[in-house]
Structure 1
Amino acid sequence: MSAIAESSMDRGAVASEVARGAPSPGARHVPGAGLDPIFKAALYGCSGLILILLASIVVLLFYGGWPALSHFGPSFYWSTVWNPVTENFGAGVMIYGTLFTGILALIIAMPMSFGIAFFLTEIAPVSLRRPIGMAIQLLAAVPSIIFGMWGVVVVVPLMAAYVEPPLIALFSHIPVLTYLFKGPASGLGMLTAGIILAFMVIPFITAMFVEIIEAVPTMLKESAYGVGCTTYEVFRNVSVPYGRTALVGATMLGFGRALGETMAVTYVIGNANRISASLFASGSTIASTIANEFPDAPAGSLRNQSLLELGFVLFVISFIVLAISRLLVRTGVK
């Protein structure tokens, strides 16, 4: 009995030591266990650094552009005058050009992205899906300045010689379409910028479309095939309705990507500070204006402050578009 009592007392002492934090006699020492707090702190530091960086950018743009906004008032956002000589600045032309070229890019890119996604998910053999998918990823990795150079060397001459003249001759006499297809066939302008942006955002939209369509339950597709639907009918009546919200979100994500493109648009848009409804007219975007004029704007000048305010406007527009797209993608993909 005494041996049993002593054994139970020994077990109780060990339990009490373990409860107080002392290692048990049979416990192993795990190498690096004391580094967990440091690792966790490093992770928090990395996440916090991103937030600090984002906040610093917002603060820089807001406070840097605030004097210009105070000087011109709210009319800065819709004024179409941008004259560095008289120091009269307005963002109306740039906001219009940014939205106009972005919408043009979506109109061109969406049908092509749908076609590529339909081909990859429903028609293409397995041996072709991987090479085409890799080609799309490589297209997404091409720098924007390369697209701009390609646009100047290849697209602009083709537009001036073979695309714009027939369109002007065909549609310029129709009253409803006169304003869209008037102007000189120079190759530079909104339509060319929209085409370049479309090729730049197609990889992003296509990749999202493929993921969304592949997320459709196989049972739904097989049920549609079982009642005699064709491949196109399954795609149109099952896949697209199932991921409709996410598809719209992916499109908005591509739109946000197009809004901030700089060098490619700068090369082909013409960089004219005016608003025109013509697809062939030259214009400017927020990003192209900043790229062209920021190096020549003295620090602290009204011109420099106006450019910073333009950057803040672009940041706000892009943030709103990307927030909406993320929300739609999250709620649409099951």
Structure 2
Amino acid sequence: MDTAMTTYDTATDFDEAVTPRRVTTVYSRTDRAFRTTSRGAGSFVLLVMILVGGFLTVNAVQAISSVGLVKFVTTQEWSPETNNFGIAAVLIGTVLIALVALIVAVPLAIGSALFITEIAPPALKKVMTTVIDLMAAVPSVVYGLWGLAFLQSHIVGFSYWISTYLGWIPLFHVDGADPNNALPNPALYTSSTFIAGLVVGMMIIPIQTSMMVEAFSRAPQGEREGAFALGATRWGVIRRVVLPFGKGGIIGGVMLGLGRALGETIAIYLIISPLFKINFHLLQNGANAVAPMIALRYGEANSFAMSALMAAGLALFLLTMAINFTASTIIARSRSGADSEA
């Protein structure tokens, strides 16, 4: 049987013959409307962020140019009236409170998310999901009042115990505390970075848990069943399948919670005793953060002091945006942030 053969005069003719044909996607009217609406919404959010950053930058120029960027970042005092101010103390205080919050929240969030997705029966899973959603909806002022009226008085004993046995570690040292005193002074341990961090940690647990539940629940069912078929225990499936798949969700949830903790205002404002000095002693009275400082000084600020507050807000805005963008990048590059087949 004869076979038809196609001959090509030149290599160019062959390349043109095997060049893949461009496939044109034709969208329906509904798809085009959806794409246009989605792009418009995304562009609007980006525009709002740019406008906020631009507004803070324009209003912060006067204060930053007055003292210089280096002095603004390294100065611990906050006295715009004497042209002696900076964010060193409040920025470090913000980071310390956020780190304490993460140390408290992350293990609880991971454990709660794993229990909801892997262990809890359907009825309990629904109840816990509802409770977590309700916790996320509680106003921050309620958490702050709870921390001020209840938690602070009950946690002082624990703070005293930590400082007594771990006071040789600088972070847990409390100036003026006497380990041999049977009647310690509670005022040394109240309004501290530790207590503020505990309250903020309770606030970010629902955010982190919800994000991790979403990531863990998308672990491929085929891989789960394959692991069970090979004799893996429930913990083995969690360790070998669920946690590796949800790593991006865990990191993203941690970063998102960190961004939320850095920007918390009213809850920290109700608890801390403002101190414009770098204080690495977590258990000791006296702390500060950028957002509560702005809330505290806003009402009495003149035009120049307002510019200084805007500069502090700009620093917090840039820090928070950097953390959120990092979290988004991590999630997008992880398996839990991409489409996968079960």
The equivalent of 1:181 in structure 2 is 173
Q: Secondary structure at the match of 2:68?
A: helix
| Structure 2 residue 136 is the aligned partner of structure 1 residue 132 | no
Flag the 1:239–1:43 CA change in 2: closer, same or farther, 3 A.
closer
Q: Check the 8 A contact 2:136/2:203 in 1, yes or no.
A: yes
What is the Cα-based RMSD across aligned positions, in Å?
A: 2.4
Alignment of 1:150-299 (within 5 A): 150-160=146-156, 162-172=157-167, 175=168, 177-183=169-175, 185-281=188-284, 282-298=286-302
Q: CA deviation at 1:140?
A: 0.2
Q: CA deviation at 1:52?
A: 4.3
- Mapped partners of 2:231, 2:118: distance in 1: 16
Q: Check the 8 A contact 1:286/1:310 in 2, yes or no.
A: yes
Q: Check the 8 A contact 2:110/2:250 in 1, yes or no.
A: no
Q: Check the 8 A contact 2:112/2:209 in 1, yes or no.
A: yes
Q: CA deviation at 1:46?
A: 6.3
- For residue 326 of structure 1, the aligned residue among 325, 328, 332 is 328
Q: 1:285 is aligned with what amino acid?
A: A
Q: Check the 8 A contact 2:191/2:271 in 1, yes or no.
A: yes
Q: 2:294 is aligned with what amino acid?
A: I
- Mapped partners of 1:256, 1:43: distance in 2: 25
| Structure 2 residue 48 is the aligned partner of structure 1 residue 56 | no
Q: 2:242 is aligned with what amino acid?
A: S
- For residue 84 of structure 2, the aligned residue among 75, 85, 88 is 88
Q: Check the 8 A contact 1:164/1:187 in 2, yes or no.
A: no
Q: Check the 8 A contact 2:191/2:287 in 1, yes or no.
A: no
Q: Check the 8 A contact 2:89/2:288 in 1, yes or no.
A: yes
Flag the 1:51–1:122 CA change in 2: closer, same or farther, 3 A.
closer
- Mapped partners of 1:120, 1:44: distance in 2: 34
| TM-score of the two chains, using structure 2 as the length reference | 0.80
- Mapped partners of 1:231, 1:43: distance in 2: 40
- Mapped partners of 2:39, 2:244: distance in 1: 40
Q: CA deviation at 1:312?
A: 0.5
Q: CA deviation at 1:55?
A: 3.0
Flag the 1:323–1:42 CA change in 2: closer, same or farther, 3 A.
closer
Q: CA deviation at 1:244?
A: 1.4
The alignment covers a number of residue pairs equal to 294
| Structure 2 residue 117 is the aligned partner of structure 1 residue 115 | no
Q: Check the 8 A contact 1:182/1:280 in 2, yes or no.
A: yes
Q: CA deviation at 1:275?
A: 1.0
Q: Check the 8 A contact 2:208/2:256 in 1, yes or no.
A: yes
Q: Secondary structure at the match of 1:274?
A: coil
1:132-169 CA deviation, whole Å, 9 max, x = no partner?
10000000001111111111001111122x21111122
- Mapped partners of 1:324, 1:48: distance in 2: 19
| TM-score of the two chains, using structure 1 as the length reference | 0.82
Q: Check the 8 A contact 1:158/1:187 in 2, yes or no.
A: no
1:68-119 CA deviation, whole Å, 9 max, x = no partner?
1111112211221223553310010111011111111111111000110111
- Mapped partners of 2:34, 2:243: distance in 1: 44
The equivalent of 1:73 in structure 2 is 68
| Structure 2 residue 319 is the aligned partner of structure 1 residue 317 | yes
Flag the 1:47–1:228 CA change in 2: closer, same or farther, 3 A.
closer
Identity %: 28
Flag the 1:40–1:203 CA change in 2: closer, same or farther, 3 A.
closer
Which structure has the larger Rg?
A: 1
1:223-244 CA deviation, whole Å, 9 max, x = no partner?
2222322212221222111221
- Mapped partners of 2:318, 2:332: distance in 1: 21
- Mapped partners of 2:153, 2:59: distance in 1: 40
Flag the 1:164–1:41 CA change in 2: closer, same or farther, 3 A.
closer
Flag the 1:44–1:124 CA change in 2: closer, same or farther, 3 A.
closer
1:234-262 CA deviation, whole Å, 9 max, x = no partner?
21222111221332122111111111110
Q: Check the 8 A contact 1:249/1:328 in 2, yes or no.
A: yes
1:280-304 CA deviation, whole Å, 9 max, x = no partner?
1321111011010011101x22x22
Q: 1:312 is aligned with what amino acid?
A: L
The equivalent of 2:141 in structure 1 is 145
Q: 1:165 is aligned with what amino acid?
A: Y
Q: List alignment gaps of at least 5 residues for structure 1.
A: 1-32
The equivalent of 1:15 in structure 2 is none
Q: Secondary structure at the match of 2:320?
A: helix
- Mapped partners of 2:129, 2:38: distance in 1: 33
